[in-house]
Amino acid sequence: MDTPENSPNPELAEFYSRIDKQELAPLWEVIHRLVAPKPITRAVPHLWQYEQVRPFLMESGTIISAKEAERRVLILENPVLRGEARTADTLYAGLQLILPGEVAPAHRHTPAALRFILEGEGAYTAVDGERTYMSVGDFILTPSWSWHDHGHEGVGAMVWLDGLDIPQAHFFGATFGENYPEERYPTTRPPETCNARYGANLRAVDDEPTDPASPLFSYPYSQTRPALEQLCASRKPNPWHGYKLEYRNPMDGGSVMPTISAFLHGLPQNFQSQRYQTTEHQIFSVVEGTGRTVVGEGENQTEIEWGPRDHFVIPGWYPYAHETEGEVVLFSFSDQVSQKKLGLWREQRHD
Ligand SMILES: [Fe+2]
């Protein structure tokens, strides 16, 4: 906005100076920045290579315990949003380390969280007192306000991607939480009860969906990987997405949580996707294979080369296309469901 000092019009400058004292500002000076022909995002595309991040994550394991840290996580901070604990405008992502014998103590909070397992075996996440044991490629939910703790009963480091809607909760001024008085929330059900209850695509007829999040909080890779493989074998790839499965809430077929959508992608070998853009903000975790994603256009175009366990962010409305040599599996999460509920979501498929 033109300040009183630099406004080219002395009459306007003098006017701005007087209204400024009443906490008033002229909309006509900023309207073009508030509402532009194209969506405006703050975050920029960025890649975090696992081989660069992992040594720091392991080092953090030697200087602070999971209990001391409460959660031993390195946040994937967007380069232009440093200090804001956000990876994209509306999403947070971090890499969490837990070592054998450690417990990340029970707490709950209004932001909703997901985990996508990157390495290790033998650790569990407990949600409201029910444990699920985690393996590489598993997708786990800890929905808003659910008690959750993590423990590691195996050997070796266990690392996973944390994805949260923290910036969305912050926007509403509705971020709060509490610690449970003990390290672990008491066991309420046998491990993996939710998989038996809801994982067979059966719903009790008198069980109405009351919670906005999925009661199935564990989607094992041992089940999702064959589903993706069969989809890939059954039809031609979508020109923009390749093969893209959405993790669903079995109660209503909707997204897994009210603010976060999550997906498993299969890209065939020698695949070049058509350019695509969407208003949703997306964070990708590479599960299998290598490739590259060309993001942006003109002088702002960047090429992101990725491999297993790398993470990258594509902010809203950046056009992008994926390229592969071999077969690829990607995991992603986004704010698509929030944007759709608010009537904001758009996409553009380029030929
Ligand atoms: Fe948490």
Cα–ligand 1 centroid distance for 243 (angstroms): 31
CA distance 124 to 116: 12
CA of 107 to the centre of ligand 1 (A): 6
**65 Cα–ligand 1 center, Å:** 16
Q: Residue 314: pLDDT band by 50, 70, 90 thresholds?
A: very high
Under 8 Å between Cβ of 256 and 212: no
Where residue 201 falls (left for φ over 0; alpha for ψ -120 to 50; beta otherwise) is: left
Q: Tell me which amino acid residue 108 is.
A: R
pLDDT in tens, 212-230: 999 999 999 999 999 999 9
Q: Provide, rounded to the nearest whole percent, the portion of the chain with pLDDT above 90.
A: 93
pLDDT at 5 over 70: no
Distance CA 75, CA 63 (A): 17
**CB atoms < 10 A from the CB of 157, how many?**
18
d(CA 258, CA 270): 35
Alpha carbon of 204 to ligand 1 centroid (Å): 30
For residue 149, how far is its CA from the centre of ligand 1 (angstroms)?
8
Rounded to an integer, the average pLDDT of 129-144 is: 98
- What's the CA-to-centroid distance between 287 and ligand 1, angstroms? 23
Q: Cα dist. 66→57, 79, 101, 177 in Å?
A: 12, 26, 10, 18
Tell me, in angstroms, the distance from the centre of ligand 1 to residue 223's CA: 26
List pLDDT tens digits, range 73-89. Answer: 999 999 999 999 999 99
How far does residue 2's CA lie from ligand 1's centre (Å)?
44
Q: What per-residue confidence (pLDDT) applies to 208?
A: 87
310 alpha carbon to ligand 1 midpoint, in Å? Answer: 23
State the residue for tokens 């390495």: 119
Q: Tell me how far apart the terminal alpha carbons of the chain are, to the nearest angstrom.
A: 39
Alpha carbons within 13 angstroms on the beta-carbon side of residue 341 total 12
* 101 alpha carbon – ligand 1 mean position (Å): 19
Rounded to the nearest integer, the mean pLDDT of the chain is 96
Q: d(Cα 265, Cα 63) in Å, to the nearest integer?
A: 36
- Residue 297 pLDDT exceeds 80: yes
Distances (CA, A) of 242 to 8, 220, 254, 271, 277: 53, 22, 21, 8, 15
- SS3 of 85, please? coil
Q: How far is the CA of 108 from the centre of ligand 1 (A)?
A: 6
| DSSP label of 73 | E
- Give per-residue pLDDT as tens, 20-40: 999 999 999 999 989 999 999
Spacing, Cα 112 to ligand 1 middle (Å)? 8
pLDDT in tens, 101-126: 999 999 999 999 999 999 999 999 99
Quote the CA–CA distance of 193 and 177 in Å, as a whole number. 26
Q: Where are the alpha helices (DSSP H) in 172-284?
A: 193-198, 221-234
DSSP per-residue letters across 218-244? EE-HHHHHHHHHHHHHHSPPBTTTBEE
Distance (Å) from CA 45 to ligand 1 centroid: 26
Whole-number Å distance between alpha carbons of 162 and 141 = 10
Binned at pLDDT 50, 70 and 90, residue 67 comes out as confident
Q: Residue 4: is its pLDDT beyond 60?
A: no
Whether 158 contacts 98, CB under 8 Å: yes
Query: Which residues are CB-contacts of 68 (< 8 A; sequence separation ≥ 6)?
Result: none
The one-letter code for the residue type at 299 is E
Residue 104 CA to ligand 1 centre (angstroms): 9
Cα–Cα dist 159/71, whole Å: 12
- Please tell me the distance between residue 94's alpha carbon and the centre of ligand 1 in angstroms: 12
Q: How far is the CA of 326 from the centre of ligand 1 (A)?
A: 36
Q: How far is the CA of 191 from the centre of ligand 1 (A)?
A: 19
Nearest in space to 241 (alpha carbons), one of 287, 273, 196: 273
Compute, in angstroms, the gap from residue 28 CA to the centroid of ligand 1. 43
Interval between CA 109 and ligand 1 midpoint (Å): 7
Identify the pLDDT of residue 6: 62
